[in-house]
């Protein structure tokens, strides 16, 4: 298997002022030691508030991306407060260097889209003006037109913009990009994205960051039992 662009993430504990304050107040972050990243696709799952965004954002900033999202050339700043976690992370890099990359925060994608519309070349890169497309369409054209080989791609809940077909289009495109040497680090609640073949899945919870098989993730178990017997599932849900 080829070498990862980023092999692992290490939390440097010296110099942390306050383990009780954000971001170290998050159990999964406080317990972080060294986390191996998959050379192809690493997926972070876990409940709302478990620390996924905090972690992927810190990895992105440590890798040289703007906290707001975008490529490494994009400097938009509408979000003042990203955590200090990146200052305490060391990325263990592989022998290959990323040729390109992108950090996508689904929640601030539109800020970046607005910024890019002021750059004439970007209209061609993204396959047309982003704001004239739906959120999901612009995301798919970004991934199709702008993402390329040997890139480091960090995506925070990309499914927020996407239909089910959009999820499928994303994993289809990821498959080509991975074959061309790209590496993905993604936080997600999507059972489709979690199903990327051979990906490493980590679940964040009070127990820390635990590698978990696809079938054993809560989102897959719940989705499966909902689809298997919706009536029974809903009877239990409403009986509580």
Ligand X SMILES: Nc1ncnc2c1ncn2[C@@H]1O[C@H](COP(=O)(O)OP(=O)(O)O)[C@@H](O)[C@H]1O
For helices 164-179 and 135-145, give the axis angle rounded to 10 degrees.
10
Residue whose CB is less far from ligand X, 106 or 130:
106
For the CB of residue 23, give the shortest distance to Mg ion in the complex, in Å: 12
Residue 50's binding partner among Mg ion, ligand X, none (Cβ under 5 to 8 angstroms by kind) is: ligand X
Closer to ligand X at the Cβ: 75 or 81?
A: 81
> Shortest distance, CB of residue 51 to ligand X, whole angstroms?
4
Site membership for Mg ion, residue 53 (CB under 5 A)? yes
Instruction: Identify which range of 28-36, 50-58, 200-208, 228-236 contacts Mg ion by CB under 5 A.
Output: 50-58
The least distance separating Mg ion from the CB of residue 97, rounded to whole angstroms, comes to 28
Environment class of residue 132 by beta-carbon count within 10 Å: exposed (0-12), middle (13-18) or buried (19+)? exposed
Residues of the shown chain interacting with ligand X in the complex, contacts defined by CB under 6 A: 22, 26, 46, 48-54, 81, 83
Q: Which CB sits closer to Mg ion, 53 or 182?
A: 53
Task: List strand residue ranges (DSSP E) for the chain, in order.
Answer: 6-11, 34-36, 41-45, 89-93, 100-105, 151-156, 183-187, 200-205, 208-211
Long-range contacts at 159-162 (CB < 8 A, ≥ 24 apart)? 159/106, 159/188, 159/189, 159/190, 159/192, 159/193, 160/106, 160/107, 161/106, 161/109, 161/135, 161/136, 162/136, 162/190
Residue 22 site contact among Mg ion, ligand X, none (CB < 5 to 8 Å, cut-off depends on kind): ligand X
Distances in whole angstroms, Cα of residue 120 to Cα of each of 90, 115, 203, 211, 224: 36, 11, 41, 43, 46
In whole angstroms, how close is the CB of 175 to ligand X at the nearest point? 25
Which residue, 42 or 54, is less far from ligand X as judged by CB? Answer: 54
Would you say 92 or 192 has its CB closer to Mg ion? 192
Q: What is the contact surface with Mg ion in residues (CB under 5 A)?
A: 52-53
């Amino acid at each position: 298997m080829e070498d990862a662009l980023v092999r692992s993430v290490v939390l440097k504990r010296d110099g942390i002022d306050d383990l009780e304050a954000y971001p170290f107040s998050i159990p999964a972050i406080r317990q972080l030691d060294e986390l191996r990243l998959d050379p192809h696709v690493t997926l972070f799952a876990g409940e709302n508030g478990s620390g996924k965004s905090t972690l992927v954002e810190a990895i992105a900033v440590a890798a040289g991306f703007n906290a707001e999202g975008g490529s490494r050339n994009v400097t938009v700043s509408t979000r003042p407060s990203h955590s200090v976690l990146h200052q305490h992370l060391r990325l263990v890099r592989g022998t290959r260097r990323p040729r390109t990359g992108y950090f996508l925060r689904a929640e601030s994608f539109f800020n970046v889209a607005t910024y890019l519309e002021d750059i004439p070349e970007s209209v061609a890169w993204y396959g047309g003006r982003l704001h004239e497309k739906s959120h999901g369409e612009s995301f798919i054209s970004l991934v199709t037109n702008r993402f390329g080989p040997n890139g480091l791609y960090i995506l925070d809940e990309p499914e927020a913009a996407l239909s089910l077909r959009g999820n499928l289009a994303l994993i289809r495109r990821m498959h080509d990009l991975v074959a061309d040497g790209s590496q993905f680090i993604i936080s997600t609640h999507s059972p489709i994205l979690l199903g990327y073949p051979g990906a490493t899945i980590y679940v964040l919870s009070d127990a820390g960051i635990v590698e978990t098989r696809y079938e054993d993730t809560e989102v897959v178990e719940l989705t499966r039992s909902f689809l298997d017997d919706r009536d029974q599932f809903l009877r239990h849900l409403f009986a509580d």
